[in-house]
Amino acid sequence: MKKKLEASTAKYIVQQYVAACGGPAALNAVKSMYAVGQVRMQGSGMVAGEDEGITATPVRLGKGNFEVGGFVLWQKNPNLWFLELVVSGFKISAGSDGKVAWNQSSTQPSQAHRGPPRPLRRFFQGLDPRCTASLFLDAACIGEQTINGEDCFVLKVETPADILKAQCSANTEVIHHTVWGYFSQRTGLLVKFGDTKLVRVRSARGKNDGVFWETSMESIIDDYMYVDSVNIAHSGRTLTTLYRYGGAVNHRRRIEEKWRIEEVDFNICGLCLESFLPPSDMNNDH
């Protein structure tokens, strides 16, 4: 009974969120999207989600100083997207052609990601309300919390075991992946998004002496404005922390990103499947 109550409450919160973002008619009218944004990063190393192509690759960022960069993003549906991000002379490209998600950087070859393709994490920062609504439709409402003076409902989603298994490889095991959404009780809008993923990497010898990588990200989402009847978040702050433990030496990296959307447009002409094809040098065995 408690789980049914949590699920029904979550569906009501998601319905309120869809209404606050413009309503089903406005959201369903969006067939494709284009966005350009600015980013300012600061931290001990550059670490982001694997869908943005930065995992254990550090970028030298001056402590106390922000490095400035930008990104451009195209999307045709949640599983057809392409992102290009440039910060401090470091370039990352990532995308999904609906069958496989991939990434490449200026220092590493292209790599494919195991498991079914999933939407880019930036879509959940208020940029794609339909994607956010779909993600939390089967969530559980686990309580309430105040975020920056806003009383919020907290929704939680655990990635199913079969999807976690599909993302595993011979040397990696995805143990859990959990996301949280904090929805304002006053406006219905998403004001905070959380994401934690734990992966175990076994040694090449196949013994049980592997290490654990835990990536945690929290985004504060702000500055909602209407674009063609759709309420889109235009700025925010994301804090990413990467822990490595279980080996001889433990590591911790942390980066703060401040981002702002400069331009958003919908229903872009000329976007086709060829616009989202992975690079020809992609390593499908990743």
**Beta pairing partners, 227:** 230
Closest CA to 124 of 207, 218, 229, 205: 218
Predicted TM-score (pTM) of this structure: 0.86
Angle formed by the axes of helices 2-20 and 129-136, nearest 10°: 170
Domains with residue ranges and CATH for the chain:
2-276 (2.50.20)
pLDDT at 40: 92
Of 172, 182, 217, give the one whose Cα is nearest residue 196: 217
Given a contact cutoff of 8 angstroms between Cβ atoms, the answer to whether 87 and 41 are in contact is yes
pLDDT at 263: 95
Strand segments (E) across the chain: 33-43, 67-77, 80-87, 90-97, 101-105, 111-113, 140-147, 150-158, 172-184, 190-201, 211-227, 230-245, 251-266
Positive or negative, the CA dihedral 220, 223, 266, 105 is negative
CA proximity to 49, closest of 99, 110, 113: 113
Number of H helices, E strands in the chain: 4, 13
For 44, the 3-state DSSP assignment is coil
Q: Can you list the pairs that 93-96 forms with residues at least 24 positions away whose Cβ atoms lie under 8 Å?
A: 93/53, 93/279, 94/51, 94/52, 94/53, 94/120, 95/276, 95/278, 96/120, 96/276
pLDDT tens, the chain, 286 aa long: 455 556 688 999 999 999 999 999 999 999 999 999 999 988 765 443 444 433 444 445 555 578 899 999 999 877 889 999 998 888 888 888 888 888 887 666 656 676 677 778 888 888 999 999 999 998 999 999 999 999 999 999 999 999 888 888 878 889 999 999 999 999 999 999 999 999 998 876 655 567 899 999 999 999 999 999 999 999 999 999 999 888 777 788 888 999 999 999 999 988 877 777 777 665 554 4
How distant, in Å, are the alpha carbons of 4, 113, 154, 199, 245 from that of 16? 19, 34, 14, 34, 41
CA distance 208 to 73: 40
**What's the pLDDT score for residue 175?**
92
Cβ burial, residue 209 (10 Å; 0-12/13-18/19+): exposed
Nearest to 72 by CA among 89, 57, 91, 47: 91
